[in-house]
């Protein structure tokens, strides 16, 4: 190579390095400092923290917007306000897009959206998870309709990828208007307390239209969506905490619906007993206990990773591992509203069941449920259709399904909590189980109404009949005699049985009727 050619090559490389460095600096020190003052990391800091060190490969760094309206022709937006690419999380490939709030507020325009489309398409083709780190002022108004087209293309890809690859969204700043629908279409939504919010319509518009005054945080902050709406699955303490928890979630998930489950190294024993479970059920049926203690006892090392921890607390959904295998757990929690099924609990469980089934994660159900929540509020809120979602989700699922009845299991709620009739592969019950149409007192008040009314001592007669009913039905033996449960076990043996069953059902296959798709009662 001649000296002139070498100089020319070095000059071009120098120009490239200069241009790249300018883009890597985002909108400059002043905007980066402002981002930090808001308690937020920059998009590049997030990407570097999220992926295994040195593994991130950026895609389309040099893409620029092409709009000339409203002065945009003279405005530079580094990387068009979004960092896209792929890297490794604990050695596994993951695709991601991180909006850069320092550059035009991370606003979404035509080319910004097309960069996101590109990595989403790559994720789908490669059958790898996609993670979106949202921090944006919304649509780039100056670009007009192409911004809306951009959102539409993202929504379409979210939908096409649903149940095919895991999709996760982290709300790490503002997300408003049309931007909220992509998170809602993904599988899991993380939010950061105090620095992130999402809503369809902001506080100013709400005040102008209906006269209601509300803060950004009260309207759409992490705590609001984690406790009231259920839109947020994980409310995290900081950007760092958020990214760490996403990494943890990914460790439970396969790359796609066609990929094997990630098996963690075994650190627990398959023969471990849980003697604490023998004494966990209170001596009176109207007393509560915390079902999470049961789940933790069964899980490897007592570790749970729980979505929706703060919403619909009468229902628990959580990921655990059993001999390293990811398992999805659904359980009533008697500690809250007696573990009753209501609209929110039904929705919470149904969505989790369908996610686990889509990605071949076995389902383990712990049932202690007195029934569905009665009253006009629940009826008018549609408990019939919402409760039907739970029936549909369990019946539709073809993964291994194991059910353990710990105490109450009454009426329609008994059916709904993965009874044998909804396709449970194996149903076990503790000796404390009460499987019946309803509780003893309610049943006797109906069946023996006339006898009780005619008795010289109605209260005494009722108590006598209740005791008789409990002896006959408020136990697991009647159901076991009919083959509705496979086995009655000591509570301490629960983990050992589950280990054995998961191994036995590992290669379960179930073929369903050929059709386009189910019509779940939404």
Closest-CA residue to 169 (of 108, 249, 228): 249
413 is catalytic: yes
Residue 140: Cβ within 10 Å count: 28
Residue 338: Cβ within 10 Å count: 18
221 is catalytic: no
Q: Annotated catalytic residue: which of 123, 299, 393, 413?
A: 413
Residue 473 host element (H or E): none
Residues 381/372, Cβ–Cβ less than 8 Å: no
Q: Annotated catalytic residue: which of 412, 423, 442, 463?
A: 412
Residues 173/179, Cβ–Cβ less than 8 Å: no
The rounded distance, in Å, linking the Cα atoms of 77 and 145 is 19
328 is catalytic: no
Residues 130/59, Cβ–Cβ less than 8 Å: no
The rounded distance, in Å, linking the Cα atoms of 117 and 33 is 30
Residues 109/67, Cβ–Cβ less than 8 Å: yes
What one-character-per-residue DSSP string does 209-251 give? HH-----HHHHHBHHHIIIII---SEEESSHHHHHHHHHHHHH
Residue 74 host element (H or E): none
382 is catalytic: no
Distance of CA 427 to the CA centre of its chain: 25
Q: Annotated catalytic residue: which of 153, 177, 324, 442?
A: 177
Q: Annotated catalytic residue: which of 150, 173, 178, 220?
A: 178
The rounded distance, in Å, linking the Cα atoms of 444 and 465 is 7
The rounded distance, in Å, linking the Cα atoms of 385 and 312 is 17
Active site residues: 177-178, 412-413
């Amino acid at each position: 190579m001649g000296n002139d050619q070498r100089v020319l090559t070095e000059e071009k490389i120098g120009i490239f390095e200069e241009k790249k460095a300018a883009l890597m600096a985002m909108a400059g020190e002043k905007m980066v400092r402002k981002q930090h003052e808001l308690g937020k990391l920059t998009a590049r800091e997030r990407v570097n923290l999220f992926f295994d060190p040195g593994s991130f490969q950026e895609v389309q760094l040099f893409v620029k917007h092409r709009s000339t309206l409203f002065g945009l022709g003279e405005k530079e937006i580094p990387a068009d306000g979004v960092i896209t690419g792929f890297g490794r999380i604990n050695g596994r490939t993951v695709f991601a897009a991180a909006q850069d709030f320092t550059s035009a507020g991370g606003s979404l325009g035509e080319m910004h959206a097309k960069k996101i489309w590109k990595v989403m398409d790559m994720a789908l083709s490669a059958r790898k998870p996609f993670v979106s780190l949202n921090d944006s002022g919304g649509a780039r108004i100056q670009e007009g309709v192409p911004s809306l087209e951009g959102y539409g293309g993202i929504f379409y890809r979210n939908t096409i990828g649903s149940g095919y690859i895991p999709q996760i969204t982290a709300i790490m700043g503002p997300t408003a208007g049309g931007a909220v629908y992509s998170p809602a279409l993904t599988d899991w939504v993380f939010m950061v307390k105090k620095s992130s919010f999402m809503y369809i319509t902001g506080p100013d518009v709400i005040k102008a239209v209906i006269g209601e005054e509300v803060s950004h945080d009260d309207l759409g902050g992490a705590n609001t969506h984690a406790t009231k709406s259920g839109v947020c699955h994980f409310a995290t303490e900081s950007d760092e905490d958020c990214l760490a928890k996403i990494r943890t979630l990914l460790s439970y998930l396969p790359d796609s619906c066609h990929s094997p489950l990630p098996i963690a190294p075994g650190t627990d024993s398959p023969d471990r007993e849980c003697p604490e479970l023998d004494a966990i059920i209170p001596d009176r049926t109207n007393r509560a206990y915390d079902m999470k203690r049961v789940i933790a006892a069964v899980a490897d090392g007592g570790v749970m990773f729980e979505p929706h921890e703060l919403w619909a607390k009468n229902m628990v959904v959580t990921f655990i591992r059993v001999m390293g295998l990811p398992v999805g757990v659904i359980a009533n929690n008697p500690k809250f509203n007696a573990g009753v099924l209501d609209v929110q609990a039904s929705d919470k469980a149904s969505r989790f069941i369908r996610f686990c089934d889509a990605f071949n994660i076995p389902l383990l159900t712990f049932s202690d449920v007195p029934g569905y929540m009665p009253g006009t509020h629940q009826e008018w809120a549609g408990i019939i259709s919402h409760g039907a979602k739970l029936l549909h989700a369990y019946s539709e699922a073809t993964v291994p399904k194991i059910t353990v009845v710990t105490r109450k299991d009454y009426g329609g709620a008994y059916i709904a909590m993965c009874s044998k009739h909804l396709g449970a592969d194996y149903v076990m019950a503790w000796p404390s189980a009460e499987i019946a149409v309803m509780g003893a007192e309610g049943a006797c008040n109906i069946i023996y109404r006339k006898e009780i009314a005619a008795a010289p001592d109605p209260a005494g007669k009722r108590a006598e009949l209740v005791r008789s009913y409990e002896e006959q039905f408020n136990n697991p033996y009647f159901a076991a005699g009919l083959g509705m449960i496979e086995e009655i076990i000591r509570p301490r043996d629960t983990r050992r049985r589950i280990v054995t069953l998961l191994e036995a059902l590992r290669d379960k296959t179930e073929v369903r009727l050929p059709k386009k798709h189910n019509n779940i009662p939404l």
